[in-house]
Amino acid sequence: MEYIYHIAVLFCLYGILTISFNLLVGFTGMFALSHAALYAIGAYTTAILATDFGIPFPLDMIASVLVAAVISAVIALPALRVTGHYLVIVSLALQIIVLQVILNWKSLTRGSDGISGVPSYNAFGFAITSPDRFLIVALIALAACYWFTHRLVRSPFGRGLRAMRENESAAQAVGLNILYMKLSTFAISAALAAVAGSLFARYFRYVGVDSFTINETIYVLAMVILGGMGNLRGSLVGAAILVALPELLKFVPLPVDIADKIRLILYGLVLMLILLVRPQGLLPEPRGRKAMLVSVEDESGPSDAGKLLDGEGGRQGGVVLQGSNLRKQFSGVTAIKDFSIALKRGQITGLLGPNGAGKTTAFNLLTGFLKPTDGVITLNGRSIADRKPHELVSAGVARSFQDLRLFTNMTVIENVIVALPDQSGRRWPNLFLHPARIRAEERANAARAMEILRFVELENKAHETAADLSYAEEKLLVVARLLATGAEVLLFDEPMSGLDQTTLADIFPVLRRLAEHGKVVCIIEHNLDVIKELCDEVYFLDEGRTMAVGTPDALMNDPELAERYFK
């Protein structure tokens, strides 16, 4: 039955589009609505190459994929400077601009006439012109795209994407390269859309801009959201429903003159009803244990996490991270006026001062989240002026946030695994080049993560969603996540605030043990008791300046400071 085959081919095309779009909006959380433009680029590339230059399969499809990926990466670079609604609008603008360029570049694209007479696939003299034959090609392509994307999202790379979606700065703080992940996802998503585009050109044998308007992006977006964001099977379900629904409605007998409008009304109604009944989409994103890449048994395997908890050795008391004469100016406001600090191995340094003194800004400078206006920061004597946060994490400087910034929709153990260093699976080509290595690493990492959780006594909560933890447990998880980075210099932004005495008693030894193991620890803290109990040296900041440096006792006995601050 050719008609059924035709619908099945359409399903395959939209299945690929939905999967690729889900990768972008669902898994990565980037609402770039220029998908139809990339689909168009894929279709036009194949149409032009096959029709005007007689380029055969698979070269045409490869060219489509490359062209779309490159264009996508190029337009992503500026577009990625914005997020949220701005990204939506910028990408819609790109969609319109790309289509207009296609429309007006007549010598290449034949303008509004479109390209007809695109040759069909031809395998050994066997022309793939009918829907049933084409369906085989389309199914293979769909399966390949599904497999590829599935591999991609169920991997350290995919876990990084989810972490980034939850909180970008926290993802940077655990060493993830945001730009790399975003650009990769943009390019891969575009490449997959181009596969669908290439098939489109070969199947319909006609390519014109009418098929790639904003409406098409919206149609695919509806499929993604209907099926469930972040669920690949959901994407297939969403595509199947929205492809089949209009076709099924064709069999509802209606008065001819308004039939197709009534069908669209019914289409809109059904879409709304489904969303009202299932506002989260039909299939939920895999969470908890389902999101894990390895089995539970692997978590209790032998682990070398002990290494992560140790410093790199070297002289206790030696300066590791140093900031000299730092100044930071925001448009008009100078947050840090003159600040110098030296963090030493085996010591716990405290940063003290009233609200707005510039403590968190100082952290941001030391960890690369902000660039100083003036001044030098060195790590083991070498300047780290131009290093990005994730580079500093692998170089050994990591931080936590005052407002925690946990990956709340991920499990406790995932929060830790995502921060572990040296994961070759963070680079997506490795997923396909070295699958065995990645699996072995994953198993080892699950065990390491579990050991770190045992260290902070959260092992019983490993598979709970981070959002379900108590406040104290969240704080412990923050510590665990920071430890997991294996960094030598650990900067904690108010790790103790809001905790009761018993929990404090739990955390104190943890921090002290870290220092004993040769780590460099720095904490921002308001509680003088904590400072007194924990710190070897304290920097007192106010109005962006270092007011005093010394042991906790010395500072607190300073009559001037005592007068002004410690009442």
Q: Which of 256, 436 has the CB closer to other proteins? A: 256
Residue 66 neighbours by CB under 8 Å, 6+ apart: 191
By CB under 8 A, tell whether 250 contacts other proteins. Answer: yes
Q: List the one residue from 10, 19, 76, 176 that touches other proteins (CB under 8 A).
A: 10
Contact 126, 209 (CB under 8 A): no
Residue-level length of the chain: 567
x-or-dash pattern for other proteins, window 199-238, by CB under 8 A? -----xxx-x-xx------x--xx--xx--x---------
By CB under 8 A, tell whether 144 contacts other proteins. Answer: no
What are the C-alpha distances in Å from 127 to residues 4, 65, 134, 201? 20, 23, 9, 15
Choices 49-57, 83-91, 316-324, 368-376 (CB under 8 A): range interacting with other proteins: 83-91
Q: List the one residue from 89, 136, 296, 433 that touches other proteins (CB under 8 A).
A: 89
By CB under 8 A, tell whether 112 contacts other proteins. Answer: yes
Q: List the one residue from 70, 96, 179, 548 that touches other proteins (CB under 8 A).
A: 96
**Shortest spacing between CB 267 and other proteins, in angstroms:** 6
**Shortest spacing between CB 60 and other proteins, in angstroms:** 17
**Shortest spacing between CB 524 and other proteins, in angstroms:** 23
**Shortest spacing between CB 279 and other proteins, in angstroms:** 3
Place of tokens 């270092």: 546
Among residues 284, 319, 238, the alpha carbon closest in space to that of 489 is found at 319
Rounded Cα gap, residues 478 and 136, in angstroms: 50
Angle between helices 131-153 and 232-249 (to 10 degrees): 150
By CB under 8 A, tell whether 122 contacts other proteins. Answer: no
**Shortest spacing between CB 473 and other proteins, in angstroms:** 24
Q: Which of 303, 364 has the CB closer to other proteins? A: 364
279 to 318, contacts with other proteins by CB under 8 A? Answer: 279-281
**Shortest spacing between CB 502 and other proteins, in angstroms:** 31
By CB under 8 A, tell whether 71 contacts other proteins. Answer: no
By CB under 8 A, tell whether 554 contacts other proteins. Answer: no
Among residues 55, 34, 30, the alpha carbon closest in space to that of 45 is found at 55
By CB under 8 A, tell whether 356 contacts other proteins. Answer: no
Question: Quick check: helix, strand or coil at residue 513?
Answer: helix
Choices 60-68, 252-260, 357-365, 396-404 (CB under 8 A): range interacting with other proteins: 252-260
Rounded Cα gap, residues 137 and 243, in angstroms: 19
Rounded Cα gap, residues 489 and 492, in angstroms: 10
**Shortest spacing between CB 212 and other proteins, in angstroms:** 10
Label residues 156-194 b or e (16+ Cβ within 10 Å = b).
bbbbbbbbbbbbbebbbbbbbbbeebbbbbbbbbbbbbb
The DSSP result for 209-229, as a single string, is: GGGGSHHHHHHHHHHHHHH-T
Q: Which of 92, 139 has the CB closer to other proteins? A: 92
x-or-dash pattern for other proteins, window 28-67, by CB under 8 A? ---x------------------------------------
Return the DSSP state at 286.
P
By CB under 8 A, tell whether 113 contacts other proteins. Answer: yes
Angle between helices 35-52 and 2-21 (to 10 degrees): 120
Q: Which amino acid is at 528?
A: L
What are the C-alpha distances in Å from 68 to residues 72, 73, 187? 6, 8, 7
Q: Which of 207, 514 has the CB closer to other proteins? A: 207
Among residues 134, 140, 137, the alpha carbon closest in space to that of 204 is found at 134
What are the C-alpha distances in Å from 106 to residues 48, 198, 306? 12, 20, 64
**Shortest spacing between CB 561 and other proteins, in angstroms:** 33
By CB under 8 A, tell whether 6 contacts other proteins. Answer: yes
Question: Quick check: helix, strand or coil at residue 216?
Answer: helix
Choices 77-85, 382-390, 391-399, 539-547 (CB under 8 A): range interacting with other proteins: 77-85
Rounded Cα gap, residues 521 and 542, in angstroms: 21
**Count of residues engaged in binding other proteins, rule: CB under 8 A:** 70
Return the DSSP state at 462.
T
Rounded Cα gap, residues 377 and 382, in angstroms: 8
259 to 278, contacts with other proteins by CB under 8 A? Answer: 259-265, 267-272, 275-276
Q: Which of 123, 264 has the CB closer to other proteins? A: 264
Rounded Cα gap, residues 471 and 435, in angstroms: 38
Q: Which of 263, 359 has the CB closer to other proteins? A: 263
Return the DSSP state at 424.
G
Rounded Cα gap, residues 216 and 94, in angstroms: 14
By CB under 8 A, tell whether 257 contacts other proteins. Answer: yes
By CB under 8 A, tell whether 2 contacts other proteins. Answer: yes
Q: Which of 85, 567 has the CB closer to other proteins? A: 85
- Which DSSP helix (H) or strand (E) runs through 268? helix 259-277
By CB under 8 A, tell whether 123 contacts other proteins. Answer: no
Q: Which residues bind other proteins (CB under 8 A)?
A: 1-3, 6-7, 10, 31, 78, 81-82, 85-86, 89-90, 92-94, 96-97, 100-101, 103-104, 106, 110-114, 116-117, 120, 129-131, 204-206, 208, 210-211, 218, 221-222, 225-226, 229, 247, 250, 256-265, 267-272, 275-276, 279-281
